[in-house]
Amino acid sequence: MVNITIDNQKITVPEGTTIMEAAKELGIPIPKLCYLKDINEIAACRVCVVEMEGMDQLITSCNNVVKEGMVLYTNSPKVRADRRKTVQLILSQHDCKCATCVRSGNCTLQTVANDLNIIDLPFKEKLERAPWDKTFPLIRDSAKCVKCMRCIQVCDKIQDLHIWDMSSTGSRSTVNVYGNRKISEVSCSLCGQCITHCPVGALRERDDTEKVWDAIADKKKVVVAQVAPAVRAAWGEALGLSREEATIGKIMDSLKRLGVDYVFDTTFSADLTIMEEGNEFLERFTKGELKLRPMFTSCCPGWIRFIKSQYPHLVPQLSTAKSPQQMFGAVMKTYFAQSIGVKPEDIYTVSVMPCVAKKGERNMELYYGEYAGNDIDTVLTTRELTRMIRSAHIDPATLKDRECDPLMKEGSGAGVIFGATGGVMEAALRSAHYLVTGKNPDPDAFKIVRSPAFGTGVIEAEVTIGDAVIRAAVVSGLGNTRKLIEAIEHGEVHYDFVEVMACPGGCVGGGGQPIHDGEELAHVRGENLYFLDKNADIRFSHENPDVLKLYEDFMEKPLSHKAHMLLHTDHNA
């Protein structure tokens, strides 16, 4: 143990503790901009400097560890002057148009500057303006980049994709797509983890809210929305609602108040996905198509982009099932459109997702007799939904619980847990058990595939269903995924069915979710989804009455010709 003094308070902490961590234990939050535990500990911003007795130079507190007898000051005149100057210099290279920034009110630089009471900028403004393709789902504004390197480190260390890099040297050094390429030319998975780890507004999703406002205003369009499982676990964070208050029913109410005509829950089509993908798996499994083992899940578009660019030879091993988002779009423009007597082209489908990659996935084409457009017309992230609610001046406290519209009203608890890593696998195993044995298992029989630490590694399970043993694996985060695939390729591990989600912890930790700088909330949000599943009336996808009715009245049966046309896709195309 090490004894030190910080701001005249004594504390004893274990060896190896950083000064910043020791101060935090004393209730002294040292301001920081670039630091991210275990990811970015490079002390690039120097905002976290402290003064050490007996030393002239200030030291950074995020990457220096305590030494016996240290006497430190976190807020001395020297520290304050230095920190102010550092932040003023950063601000001189940052486009400070806070009123038009998506991160205003949720920006670490803004908070640090406000806390230091900086109201004048003595340095000349020097902004970097690099071109960017504004049609791409991920937008970078170079004039806002503070060169903290978090995007580079998250993409390197967590996602193992290396999209971002430093370019130029010295005072001109900056961040850009590696090799100064265009973002659309490189293998960006669109997971959006760089966005959720950016401390400012330099990275964001393409804003598509105006497209939805236009569709709502268009009298010819029937606007039909769906809301993904993981959105319910996070949307209230940005609106000051507690987890208990922020129900899915209130999202439905808010969408209706925005002017959306019909509202649905993606858990309906998550159940539909289980019917298609579960049957597809059992077919591949029992036919013993060894070269197609393992079968990989196909619902995460970040993962689909990853496998296509990094391991194209494995693409045939993907399930052909479309994701729940896409399946729902196809069902809305056919079965649902027919039921309300509207042509597919007059249906405008909107999805609210925790995800940036879904904005790319939405382009999937829909054929219904002839080409009928895209399954989905516009994808909004959870953050965009909360911005629409705010811009419509809806007071969140006035929202009421509202049910989904008829025909596709129900969703099971199995569909809800899709939003957390392991959820798709667990839902699939619950229904596979029924399909094979004709009996329901205990709904929690397969909870072994839940991740105890949400996205820190691979979960493996051997599950017995009837006479068969299924070797399952669940992974989230693309760095973890790469390791798993290498192990599969080298014959070190053998699986029948593998679930992959690009974002650590699954969609609950998605790149479109509300941002809490430096705080990873996938775990808390995931627990929320498991709580909802535990308390759901229906816990098996194959018991969703609206899904069964869809098969009876329209889709015939899982894997029917119609189901193949509308609910499956060729990933090689």
Residues of the shown chain interacting with ligand SF4 in the complex, contacts defined by CB under 6 A: 191, 300-303, 354-355, 357-358, 501-503, 506-507, 510-511
Instruction: State yes or no: residue 544 binds ligand HC0 (CB under 6 A).
Output: no
For ligand HC0, the closer CB: 175 or 355: 355
419 lies in the site for ligand HC0, by CB under 6 A: yes
266 binds, among ligand SF4, ligand HC0, none (CB under 5 to 8 A by kind): ligand HC0
Size of interface with ligand HC0, in residues (CB under 6 A): 21
555 binds, among ligand HC0, ligand SF4, none (CB under 5 to 8 A by kind): none
What's the closest the beta carbon of residue 425 comes to ligand HC0, in angstroms?
11
CA-based nearest residue to 34, from 199, 273, 192, 249: 199
Nearer to ligand HC0, 74 or 226 (CB): 226
Tokens of 334: 């056919």
The option from ligand SF4, ligand HC0, none interacting with 504 (CB < 5 to 8 A, set by class) reads none
Sign of CA dihedral 217, 219, 221, 224: positive
User: Which residue from 200, 270, 461, 465 is in contact with ligand HC0, where contact means CB under 6 A?
Assistant: 270
- Closest approach of Cβ 48 to ligand HC0, in Å? 34
Q: Please identify, using beta-carbon distances, which residue of 50 and 300 lies nearer to ligand HC0.
A: 300
By beta-carbon proximity to ligand HC0, the closer residue of 61 and 273 is: 273
Closest CA to 424 of 287, 541, 258, 261: 541
List C-alpha distances in Å: 471 to 140, 464, 468, 493, 547: 41, 9, 10, 10, 28
**Could you say whether residue 299 binds ligand HC0 (CB under 6 A)?**
yes
Pick 229 or 396: Cβ nearer ligand HC0 = 229
CB of 229 to ligand SF4, least distance (A): 10
Beta bridge partners of 464: 469
Distance CA(513)–CA(286), nearest Å, equals 39
307 binds, among ligand HC0, ligand SF4, none (CB under 5 to 8 A by kind): none
| The binder of ligand HC0 chosen from 90, 330, 355, 474 (CB under 6 A) | 355
Indicate if the alpha-carbon torsion angle 358, 185, 314, 189 is positive or negative. Answer: negative
- The length of the chain in residues reads 573
Count the Cβ atoms, other than its own, within 10 Å of residue 244.
8
Structural contact between residues 165 and 7, judged by C-beta atoms closer than 8 angstroms: no
Region for residue 101 given its phi and psi (left: phi exceeds 0; alpha: psi -120 to 50; beta: otherwise): beta
Closer residue to ligand SF4 in complex, CB, 329/344:
329
Tell me the CB-side half-sphere exposure of residue 438, using CA atoms within 13 A: 0
Q: Does 228 bind ligand HC0 (CB under 6 A)?
A: yes
- Among 266, 279, 451, 476, which residue interacts with ligand HC0 (rule: CB under 6 A)? 266
- Is residue 459 helix, strand or coil? strand
The residue among 475 and 559 lying less far from ligand SF4, judged by its C-beta, is: 475
* Interface with ligand HC0 (CB under 6 A), residue from 137, 344, 354, 360: 354
| Closer residue to ligand HC0 (CB): 379 or 559 | 379
CA 438/CA 466 separation, integer angstroms: 10
Examine residue 358 and tell whether it contacts ligand HC0 (CB under 6 A): yes
Cα 248 to Cα 329: distance, rounded to the nearest angstrom: 19
Nearer to ligand HC0, 60 or 513 (CB): 513
Tell me if 23 sits within 8 A of 91, measured CB to CB: no
Least separation, in Å, of the C-beta of 502 and ligand SF4?
4
Which is it for strands 174-177 and 222-227: parallel, antiparallel or unpaired?
A: unpaired
**Of ligand HC0, ligand SF4, none, which one does residue 191 interact with (CB within 5 to 8 Å by kind)?**
ligand SF4
Using alpha carbons only, how large is the chain's radius of gyration in Å?
25
The answer to whether 284 and 485 have CB atoms below 8 angstroms apart is no
Nearer to ligand SF4, 278 or 324 (CB): 324
| 3-state secondary structure at position 177 | strand
With CB under 6 A as the contact rule, the residue among 230, 255, 347, 536 that binds ligand HC0 is: 230
Task: Give the HSE-up count for residue 91: Cα atoms under 13 Å, Cβ half-sphere.
Answer: 25
Residue closer to ligand SF4 (CB basis): 128 or 533: 533
- Binding at 228: pick from ligand HC0, ligand SF4, none (beta carbon under 5-8 Å per type): ligand HC0
Tell me which of 43, 275, 300, 550 binds ligand HC0, using CB under 6 A: 300
Which H or E run contains 408? none
Distance in angstroms (rounded) separating the CA atoms of residues 331 and 406:
14
Q: How far apart are CA 350 and CA 329, in angstroms?
A: 8
Q: From the list ligand SF4, ligand HC0, none, which binds 502 (C-beta under 5 to 8 Å, kind-based)?
A: ligand SF4
What six digits make up the tokens of 520? Answer: 């990873």
Interacting residues with ligand HC0 between 307 and 326 (CB under 6 A): 323-325
Tokens 């230091």 label which residue?
116
Residue 334 touches which member of ligand SF4, ligand HC0, none, C-beta under 5-8 Å by kind:
none
Separation between Cα atoms, residue 37 and residue 193, nearest integer Å: 15
37 vs 519: CA distance, rounded Å: 10
424 binds, among ligand HC0, ligand SF4, none (CB under 5 to 8 A by kind): ligand HC0
Query: How far is 19 from 53, CA to CA, in rounded Å?
Result: 14
Interface with ligand HC0, residue 201, by CB under 6 A: no
* Contacting residues toward ligand HC0, per CB under 6 A: 228-230, 266, 270, 273, 299-300, 323-325, 353-355, 358, 418-419, 424, 506-507, 510
